[in-house]
Each structure stands twice: as C-alpha cells, then as structure tokens.
Amino acid sequence: MTLRKLTLGAVFLVLAGCDRQDNQSIHVDVTPAPQTVYELSAEQSGAFSAYLGLSAYTMMSAATQDAQELDNRLQSFLYHPNPMSLKEAREAWRRAYSSFLRTLIFSHMPLTDPPDWHKKGIDYQQTLTLIDSWPIEGGYIDHVPGYPFSGIVNDLTLELNEENLLAQHGFSDPSYASLGFHAFEFMLWGEDGRRSARDFFPQENTAPVLVASEGGNTTETGDPIAGAESEADGAANYEAVAAGDVEIQNHNRRRQYIQLLSEQLQKHLHRLQRRWEPSNGYYATLLQRSEPVQVLTAFINATQSLLSDELLARRLNGNSSEFSNATWADIQAILNGVQELYLPPASAEAATGIAALLPPAQQESLISRWNQQFALLNSTLAQWQQEGQVSEATRQQCRERVIELMSVLKQTADALSVPLLSSH
C-alpha cells in the first residue's frame, strides 16, 4: 500500500475496536491535499504505526513509574515532615507531571472507546479529567489564607475514601477538583506556594474551631508543637494564616487525603498504561487494526490539535501549574513529547519518528526547521522560567513560536501528502 493523494474534501479515519459493534468512523474535514504527491511505502508507514504504538506504551509506562516514585517520596515526607522531605516530594511531583504531559499527544488521537467505558466514566477523556483537571479551586480541598477550615480536608462529616473523592471531583463545577495532579500540587505547595511541612505533622483531627495562639505554634491546649520548623522554613505558616494567628488543624485527615490522591493518581495512570500495552492493550489494538496511512494521518492531525487547542488556546492563556508557578515546565514537557516522536534522539532505533518518513529531497531542510523552532521555544521558556511571574511579552513570544512550529508541521504534512484539519 502507498500513501496517495486524498482528492476528497474529507477523510474518514477508522480506528476499529476489539468489539465490532463499537466500530465507528471519525469524520474529519480537511484542506485539499497538496498537488505534489509523495508515495510512502507500506513498509515505512507500517513501521511508523508500530513505532507510535510502542512509544505510547513506553512513555505511559515512564509516567506510571514516576508516579510511583512520587508516592515513595510522599511516604518519606509523611514519615518525617520537614522542609527537606517536602522539597523532595515537590521535585518528584514535577518529574511525574512532566512525564505524564509527554504522553498528552496520544489523547488527541481519534481513539474510539467502548460505550460501556463512557457509561462508567473510564474512557480516555474522562480518565484525563481525573488526572489533569485545571484550573482548580484550592479552597475546595483545604485551607487557604483567610479561610483556615475550608475544603474537603476540614469537612469532618465527609469520610475520606475513594468513592467519596470520585463523587466530589467536579461536583458542581470543573474547578472543584478533588483528584489529579493539580489537587496533589495544591497539597504540596498551598494556595500561594508556601505550604508548611508542619501542616502534615501526625496530629489528631480536631473540630473546626478557631484557635488563637499568641506565640504562634501552639495546640489548642497552648502547648508548643514538637518539632515545629523555623519561621523561615515555613514562611511563618502562611503568616499565621493571613495574620489571623490561627492554628491549622485536621492534620491526620490532610495526611490521609494526600495518600488517597497518590493512590488514585497511580490507579488512573495504570489504566491508560494497560490500554497501550503492545500485546493486548485496547488502544494498541486499535492502532494495529487500522491502516498505517490512517494512523499517520491521525497522528499528524493530533499534533496540530495539541499545539492549537492544548498549548495556544489553553496553557498559553492560563496557568496550569499555578501553585508551583511552573506552567513553563508544563509547556516544555508537552513539546518534549512532540520532539521525541518527530525527531527521536540519535540513540533511538534507525528509521523511527516522523523525520524518517520525509522525502529525501526535503528531509534535511525540514529536520533543520524543526530543530530550529524547538531551540527557539526552549530559549523562550528558559526566559519564562527566569522571570518567575511571566511577562505578557514573553508569553506572547511563546505563542508566536508555537504558531511558527505549526507552520513547520504544515510543511511536513504537505511533504507527506497528509491533509490537515481545516483551520477555524
């Protein structure tokens, strides 16, 4: 089979599932195919399809492993809450979230989930909402400055278990998130990035009543808290909860809640990992049963969707990791995932990635353009990191770089005779 010019104004991408009753087609309006047609051999397109499926599983496996390492660091932190163990847990969170974001491109593929998964709320898109909901309201989860007893942690009438956290997730608004990476992020950083390790000292839950403490770090009996960190380490515990000198309570519920968060995060990531397993994973089977040309077309269009919808429309207009102030790192991780699939490192197997499929006459030029745009984006994101609170000028420059990257994607699609989705 060869990749030939698509003369119709639309293309039907059919990714057939294991359940034949669930065999659906995806209708995509596309721009006319380029006049010059490059024919890709069945061997080339088939090799890429296999590479894509294996890459999805490998990258998803890395994400689950990093989530497990995050849990390990969390347990060390809870065993001995202190500024250093909190710092290590935060660093593990960053690695785990970046690892997950590298896989985000696969969620933009037109993968058809069984109807039963939709009913149970475990299809791909609903699973993503359990993993990566943002923006979120921190006060829905735990205390925030000025509101020391807000959120699920301080609601002593709510039993903390898997069923209740699932029910509370997005209860009346998408921002009311009780699960996922950003609920975890809030628990580690707090509303303004200055969460104190003291919040996780193992202490009994107490009734939500204000406890004034003239000396600062005392229990409701007036006794000092053993092992309390210094004012510098804990940033005066949110300046004694927004200068209210209020003692934070319900420590054991806070500890229980963050452990449930970690367990659920691993469970949902494992769900996606299993579905990409090469031997019998559902999504892996979809790719294996689809025509390689369809897989290639779907993947390049998924890249356009990722850059346009995920980066330009969402993350470059908001702050996905607002509590850790690291949205720049989110964008970097997503772009790293794209770069790995288009331009695999030299250590990867030969003839992998989109670069290996390009026509010989255009290969060197297009690879150079991809590398140039990734380098420019990396430079802009480094500037964003240095600024801390990003300026609008830097954010706008990042948008422009992504638009330029989309232009290179269009050139690549044209070179491969792959029609792109119509722009809206």
Structural domains for the chain: 42-415 (1.20.1420.20)
Q: Which two tokens stand for residue 423?
A: 């722009």
CA distances from 46 to 221, 291, 304, 332, 414 (A): 70, 8, 22, 29, 19
| pLDDT value for 41 | 82
Beta-bridge partners for 29? 10
Q: Which residues of 8-19 are buried (b: 16+ CB within 10 A; e: fewer)?
A: eeebebbbbbee
**pLDDT value of position 214:** 38
86 and 77 Cβ atoms separated by less than 8 Å: yes
| Amino acid identity for residue 117 in this structure | W
3-state DSSP assignment of residue 40: coil
Scanning the structure block, which residue is given the tokens 């990258």? 59
Integer CA distances (angstroms), 151 to 106, 148, 234, 257, in order: 34, 9, 21, 11
- Phi, then psi, of 203 in degrees rounded to 5: -135, 150
| Residue of 56, 51, 19 whose CA lies nearest to 275 | 56
Angle (deg, nearest 10), helices 327-342 and 360-387: 170
Q: Per residue in 262-293, is it b (16+ CB within 10 Å) or e — as a string?
A: bebbbebbbbbbbbbbeeebbbbbbbeebbbb
Mean pLDDT of successive 10-residue stretches along the chain, which has 424 residues? 35 41 42 58 88 96 98 98 98 98 97 96 97 97 93 96 96 95 98 95 73 38 38 45 66 97 98 96 94 94 97 96 97 97 73 87 95 97 94 96 98 94 60
* Burial of 164: CB neighbours in 10 Å, binned 0-12, 13-18, 19+: middle
Reduced to 3 states (helix: H, G, I; strand: E, B; else coil), residue 285 is helix
> Which residues are bridge partners to 223 per DSSP?
none
Evaluate whether 53 touches 278 at the Cβ level (below 8 Å): yes
- Give the span between the Cα atoms of 201 and 243, in whole angstroms: 21
Instruction: Give the SS3 label for residue 165.
Output: helix
- Across 57-77, b (16+ Cβ under 10 Å) vs e yields bebbbbbbebbbebbebbeeb
CB atoms within 10 A of CB 256: 16
Length of the chain: 424
3-state SS assignment for residue 28:
strand
- Of 385, 377, 393, the C-alpha closest to 311 is 377
pLDDT at 45: 86
Compute the half-sphere exposure of residue 266: CA atoms within 13 Å on the CB side of its CA: 14
CA dihedral of 203, 204, 207, 209, whole degrees rounded to 10: -20
β-sheet bridge partners, residue 212: 246
Both structure tokens of 83: 């500024």
Pair of tokens at residue 398:
């990042």
CA Rg value for the chain: 24
Contact 315, 326 (CB under 8 A): no
The structure tokens listed for 131 are 């993993």
- Enumerate the β-bridge partners of residue 12: 27
d(CA 289, CA 424): 31
Residue pair 275/281 in contact by the 8 Å Cβ criterion: yes
Specify the DSSP element, H or E, that contains 11.
Answer: strand 10-14
- Cα dihedral: 331, 333, 336, 338 (round 10): -70
Give the count of alpha carbons within 13 A of 376, CB side only.
15
Counting DSSP H helices and E strands in the chain, the numbers are 13, 2
